[in-house]
Structure 1
Amino acid sequence: MRVTIARRHFYFHANEVEQAMNGVTPEPAVTGMSVDIGGVRYPIMQVGAVITRQDRRDFNAGEVQRAMQALGFPIHTTSG
């Protein structure tokens, strides 16, 4: 599926995202959005950084959220 993050187009399948995140230790998510990938909950910005290999300052959480929802991953919102 084609997704746009930080004005760049990426082509991902859900299994590719799962493979990229496999073995990655989730950062503590105090507030904000998180996504379940392979039974593990990751902060949305961490996922964006891993799958795009871009600096987190180059994209926002909404872009990654839309991409992960389009790929069928559940999104959660945490408030602190």
Structure 2
Amino acid sequence: MRCVIARFPFDLTKSGVLESMKGIKPEPVTGESVIIGRRHYPAKQVGEIVTRQDRRDFSAGEVLRAMSRLGFTCRALP
């Protein structure tokens, strides 16, 4: 699926995101989060790993929209 994060287009797949996040330890969740497998990851951490961009370059909302379109469960502020 093609999506735009931080004004750059990315072709993301659910399996590609799962592979990228494999072996990554989740940081403490303080805001928006994405559930990948059985783990809750902060949206900014997922965006940084998947896009290889600095997390200051995009918003959590951009990541949440892309991940929800791929079929991941996303949560707003707890």
Same fold (TM over 0.5): yes
The SS at the match of 2:34 is strand
Q: CA deviation at 1:66?
A: 0.5
Q: Deviations over 1:5-33 (max 9, x none)?
A: 00000001100000000100000012x11
Q: How many residues end up aligned between the 2 structures?
A: 78
The SS at the match of 1:26 is coil
The SS at the match of 1:42 is strand
After TM superposition, the structure 1 = structure 2 runs for residues 23-62 of structure 1, keeping only pairs within 5 Å, are 23-30=23-30, 32-62=31-61
Hey, what's the Cα distance between the residues in 2 that align with 1:39 and 1:62? 21
After TM superposition, the structure 1 = structure 2 runs for residues 65-80 of structure 1, keeping only pairs within 5 Å, are 65-79=64-78
Residue type of the alignment partner of 2:21: M
Q: CA deviation at 1:77?
A: 2.2
Alignment TM-score, normalising by the size of structure 1: 0.93
Q: CA deviation at 1:40?
A: 1.2
Hey, what's the Cα distance between the residues in 1 that align with 2:3 and 2:36? 17
Q: CA RMSD in A?
A: 0.8
The SS at the match of 1:66 is helix
Unaligned residue ranges in structure 1 (runs of 5+): none
Hey, what's the Cα distance between the residues in 1 that align with 2:33 and 2:61? 11
Map of 1:10 onto structure 2: 10
Hey, what's the Cα distance between the residues in 1 that align with 2:37 and 2:19? 9
Unaligned residue ranges in structure 2 (runs of 5+): none
